[in-house]
Amino acid sequence: MNIGQIFKLFLAVAAVWPSGVVATEPADRISGEYASDAGPGRRERRCPELGALPRTIATGDRGPFHVQGIAVDLKRGHIYFSFTTQLLKFDLQGRLIGSVDGLTGHLGCLTMNPDDGRVYGSLEYKDDAIGQGIRSKLTERDAAEVEASDRTGFYVAIFDVDRITRPGMDAERDRVMTTVYIGEAVADYRAQVTDGGSVREHRFGCSGIDGVTFGPLMGTRRGNLLYVAYGIYGDTLRHDNDYQVLLAYDTKDWHRYEAPLSQENLHRSGPPAPAGKYFVRTGNTRYGVQNLAYDPASGNFYMAVYRGSKSCYPNYSLFVVDGSAAPRREPLIGTDGPVMGEVLSLLPAGKEENGIRGWDFPWGTTGLCPLGGGYFYISHEARSEHGEQSSTVHLYEWTGDEQTPFRAVE
């Protein structure tokens, strides 16, 4: 082969060789977060440019309801906050761009779908202590509308964030939000079960839904499913509420279910069943998974919770599901009768007591968002002496250390 032929062969190989590949770079160093800096239809795998990331982002005072969750779009330079009855859109310098107001339910954890660039959040309407607390702080008009309606419905709210361009937008009139009904969670919430020989309300202690995130099929790196975590009542007298429950949905065909939500007449448009239902034995927690986040840098699922009160458990505030471990089909502990479930494994790291692994960390229940490369934005909630709620997001790096699982980035 002469020099000319070798040169032509080189050009042919270069034309088909993937651009940007660095063969010597370990995979865990180039992994990124599914939704934070990914545009629609792609998943960004680069580590974020730390020099460009603000170490803190503050919302300022935002009224009587506390922050529930955050979602970050590094590509467009936006961060989204859920403040229970409103969604706020900021730039990364902390300037308010727009908001969606007028929700009369409980808007919880947020996540961004890398396949369509929209923000998804859990949205509850119910008549328990949480629902009553929300109604007590609503305006008279909004409270009257809720009183006149069927007050039980669990939804995934989907926000077309490109349409959120000014403060004070209305969730119904401005057509920036659609919803999908999560019937599986409602069925468990309304069910009566036998627990220790006594009849109790709410299968698995289901109090609703809260944590949401997009991630692959459990035990793999394939696919893009929406995971929806149950809220779990912190009842210390029952035995069937010691698992976190995660529902998995393939949202590719959800356009057929999406509908505007009339808060005066809650719809029931949603998939008949989830694609998967998983259980994580953590011991009981107070209202279940507050924030759920998949981190492609590690391939694991992070769960921030309010500590439980059962003395037989370590009652950690942070758990990590081992995303590489396939689910195990086994009997669920604490249930009356042979109830089988797909059980997930906790990551074999952190503290350990009675076979349960986890960490003690004071933040994350009001916002936890992986950014790529092991970095996270985590919400620190605050309440002023006048009752005004706020959030300041801080930049952290995951260490996995038993005592200090996250390190603040200076």
What torsion, rounded to 10 degrees, do the Cα atoms 192, 194, 198, 200 define?
Answer: -30
In a domain, 30, yes or no: no
On the question of pLDDT at 250 being above 90, the answer is: yes
Would you say residue 58 lies in a domain? yes
Q: Over range 102-128, report the average pLDDT.
A: 94
pLDDT band at 133 (very low <50, low <70, confident <90, very high): low
CATH code, domain with 378: 2.115.10
The helix (H) or strand (E) run that includes residue 396 is strand 389-398
Rounded average pLDDT over 351-355: 96
Question: Would you say residue 22 lies in a domain?
Answer: no
Ordered DSSP codes for 210-239: EEEEEEPPTTSS---EEEEEEEE---TT-S
Residue type, 367: G
- Strand 69-73: give its sheet, edge to edge: 69-73, 78-82, 87-91, 96-101, 169-170
**What is the sign of the dihedral through the CA atoms of 360, 363, 367 and 368?**
negative
Tell whether 341 is covered by a domain: yes
| CB atoms near residue 137 (< 10 Å) | 14
Task: Answer whether residue 25 is part of any domain.
Answer: no
Residue 30 structure tokens: 């180039």
The chain-wide mean pLDDT, for the chain, equals 87
Q: Residue 64 and residue 141: Cα distance in Å, rounded? A: 17
Domain count, the chain: 1
* pLDDT score of 352: 98
Whether 238 is in a domain gets the answer: yes
Q: Are 40 and 116 in contact (CB under 8 A)?
A: yes
DSSP type of residue 65: S
Domain that holds residue 325: 35-408
pLDDT at 384 over 50: yes
Cβ(159)–Cβ(179) below 8 Å? no
Q: How far apart are CA 241 and CA 206, in angstroms?
A: 8
Whether 17 has a pLDDT exceeding 80, the answer reads no
Which residue type, as a one-letter code, is found at position 122?
Answer: S
Classify residue 310: in a domain, yes or no. yes
pTM: 0.86
Is 143 among the domain residues? yes
pLDDT digits (tens, 9 = 90+) for 288-338: 999 999 999 999 999 999 999 999 999 999 999 999 999 999 999 999 988
Q: What is the pLDDT of residues 360-375, one digit of tens each?
A: 999 999 999 999 999 9
